[in-house]
Amino acid sequence: MPIYAVIDIGSNTVRLVIYQEKPSGRYEELHNVKIVARLREDLTEDLVLTEAGIKKLIHILTHFNNILDEQHVDTMICAATAAIRQAVNREDVKRRVSQETGLTMRILSEEEEAYYGFLAVKHSIMVSEAITIDIGGGSTELTYFKDRDIQESISLPFGALTLKRRFFNAKEDKASLEKLLLFLQAQFEAIPWLQTGIPVIAIGGSARNLALIHQGLHHYPIGGLHQYEMDPSEIPTVLNELISLDVSDRQKVEGLSKDRADIIIPAISSFQALCECIEAPKWILSRKGLREGLLYEMIHRSNGVTQSEVSVLDKSMTELENDFGTDTSDTGEVVRLAKMLADLLEEHRFFELEATDRKLLESAGRLFQLGQYIDREAASQHTFYVLSNRTIDGLFHEQRVKLALVASFHSKSRLEEWAQPFKGWFYKKERKTLSYLGSLLKFSKALNATDRKIVEAISLKEHESHVEFIIHCRKDCLSESYQAEKYIKHIEKAIKKEIVLTFEEMGM
């Protein structure tokens, strides 16, 4: 499969990330190399990138070239952002890089930098309207998108490094912090197109650090950062805790990178000020940003196709199916039967489902017991662990845990046990629905026990003392009837009614 590389020359760090496209059309990260360069500090007051800064950059890019020589990369891009863009001698820097490394450095415009961040969000998070913020070392990019199309963008001429130099050059204290927050508030309030009451999606290293710190403070029970959600009212708590520490103590904070300890205050302040300005209901982390935006464009151009509008979640489901060797013919039949049962039971008023529940039933059915790829005897345990801890584009963390609980369903008691660490996430009624969805999938799997797809239809009759499921089969169904009798108890518990199974072979 094709291999792609992105070199991202930022104001604070320079990164080389190498990706490989997967059969599903998604990609995996093979290598991620970061060098803290702080090129913004090599810009003079007249915005000239110093000779020392140029040599530092060329030294890093030469090192990256040595890595690339071993990787058989098919397509690559070397992109520079604010530090180079703001340099008055940027064309000379570009020429020197080309001559001494052989790399063609593309200097992104403010609009391009903002757009690629948005593009990464669009392809990895299912949110229809939001404000994105990407605070780098020397600039801050904001976009507003609605119906998943970008509406407005702006690049503000300050970042974590420049704000640190302006407000915390002498010392870091709460008085300086207040001045910074007032400055940021004025900057954001001056943007006429900012909308209120919509989420803020944060991109970049400082945003990742804030999420990690917050997870550490709350002993977060699952892995993964992408699509992590915070209540914006909790940001000031983290900020005040960090401002009370000196830089050396801050470096010991769990989740905070040592190289960001001296610039994290301005970055988090920017998130707080923006959330307060637009009265954001949520702060969401996107682990995908500029580099992934550039990658998406490279992949689509290399494949000669336009950017697909296939659902982000559907793409993620396909990727999981491919990665774990899922028999989509079998799971497709399980989903068909589970939907049929859900319709019957709702028609007879035993259990009503919301549209989101039905979507969850379909997604969990596609991945039902995928952990058998690892170990068939412990398929349920592996399914829950994989799905609850793996980043799944298109699903927030709470949704991911719901998917894991349903797709791994073994029994109601097992579901309650595994849901224990997330007790505050789901109401009792929600857990009841999750158990019901899991019971439908488990029973449907039994009806396709021999992978022959022999169930033509299911009908339901209500009796005074019980409910009768009549299973209409195209062929003999001895194995299916045996398995179904074992697992019908889970649906019985969910609807609180005895169920009698009758299997009828069609044409007999």
- In-domain check, residue 298: no
HSE (side-chain half, CA atoms, 13 Å) at 233: 1
Q: Which of the four pLDDT bands, split at 50, 70 and 90, describes residue 169? A: confident
Range of 496's domain? 314-505
Q: Which of the four pLDDT bands, split at 50, 70 and 90, describes residue 423? A: confident
Q: Which tokens in the block code for residue 39?
A: 């090129």
Strands 455-462 and 467-473: antiparallel
Do 149 and 27 share a structural domain? no
Number of domains in the chain: 3
Please tell me the distance from the alpha carbon of residue 240 to that of residue 118, in angstroms, as a whole number. Answer: 30
Across 82-95, average pLDDT: 97
Give me the pLDDT at residue 507, please: 62
171-175, 193-197, 427-431, range with the lowest pLDDT: 171-175
Count of positions (residues) in the chain: 508
Do 325 and 181 share a structural domain? no
Contact 84, 11 (CB under 8 A): no
Do 425 and 319 share a structural domain? yes
Do 402 and 361 share a structural domain? yes
Do 384 and 420 share a structural domain? yes
Please tell me the distance from the alpha carbon of residue 124 to that of residue 288, in angstroms, as a whole number. Answer: 7
Give me the pLDDT at residue 310, please: 63
Give me the pLDDT at residue 308, please: 52
Do 122 and 98 share a structural domain? no
Listed residues 291, 324, 354: the one ending a domain:
291
Do 155 and 29 share a structural domain? no
Residues 6+ apart with CB under 8 A from 116: 108, 289, 290, 293, 294, 297
**Which residue in 138, 129, 77 sits closest to 106, CA to CA?**
77
Q: What is the end-to-end Cα distance of the chain in Å, rounded?
A: 52
The burial class, CB within 10 Å (0-12 / 13-18 / 19+), for 162 is buried
Q: What CATH number is given to the structural domain containing 245?
A: 3.30.420.150
Contact 215, 227 (CB under 8 A): no
Do 459 and 424 share a structural domain? yes
Do 145 and 87 share a structural domain? no
Q: What mean pLDDT value characterizes the chain?
A: 95
Q: What CATH number is given to the structural domain containing 466?
A: 1.10.3210.10
Give me the pLDDT at residue 299, please: 86
- In-domain check, residue 305: no
- In-domain check, residue 296: no
Give pLDDT tens digits for 40-87: 999 999 999 999 999 999 999 999 999 999 999 999 999 999 999 999
Give pLDDT tens digits for 491-504: 999 999 999 999 99
Q: Is the pLDDT of residue 307 over 70?
A: no
Quick check: helix, strand or coil at residue 280? coil
Do 284 and 356 share a structural domain? no
Q: Is the pLDDT of residue 208 over 60?
A: yes
Give me the pLDDT at residue 309, please: 52
Q: What CATH number is given to the structural domain containing 9?
A: 3.30.420.40
- In-domain check, residue 304: no
Give me the pLDDT at residue 109, please: 96
Give me the pLDDT at residue 62, please: 97
Do 251 and 121 share a structural domain? yes
- In-domain check, residue 300: no
Listed residues 108, 123, 148: the one ending a domain:
108
Q: Is the pLDDT of residue 455 over 90?
A: yes
- In the block, which residue shows the tokens 């000669």? 304
Amino acid at 336: R
Contact 500, 464 (CB under 8 A): no
**Which residue in 431, 314, 298, 306 sits closest to 366, CA to CA?**
314
- In-domain check, residue 163: yes
- In the block, which residue shows the tokens 């109601």? 412
- In the block, which residue shows the tokens 């845990």? 401
Q: Is the pLDDT of residue 186 over 60?
A: yes
Q: Is the pLDDT of residue 155 over 70?
A: yes
Q: What is the pTM of this model?
A: 0.92
Q: Is the pLDDT of residue 306 over 90?
A: no
- In-domain check, residue 299: no
Residue 19: count other Cβ atoms within 10 Å of its Cβ. Answer: 23
**Which residue in 110, 79, 101 sits closest to 4, CA to CA?**
79
Across 466-491, average pLDDT: 96
Do 453 and 399 share a structural domain? yes
Please tell me the distance from the alpha carbon of residue 491 to that of residue 499, in angstroms, as a whole number. Answer: 8
**Which residue in 107, 18, 114, 21 sits closest to 70, CA to CA?**
18
93-97, 155-159, 366-370, 503-507, range with the lowest pLDDT: 503-507
Q: Is the pLDDT of residue 268 over 70?
A: yes
Listed residues 108, 140, 170: the one ending a domain:
108
Across 502-507, average pLDDT: 86
Across 483-493, average pLDDT: 97
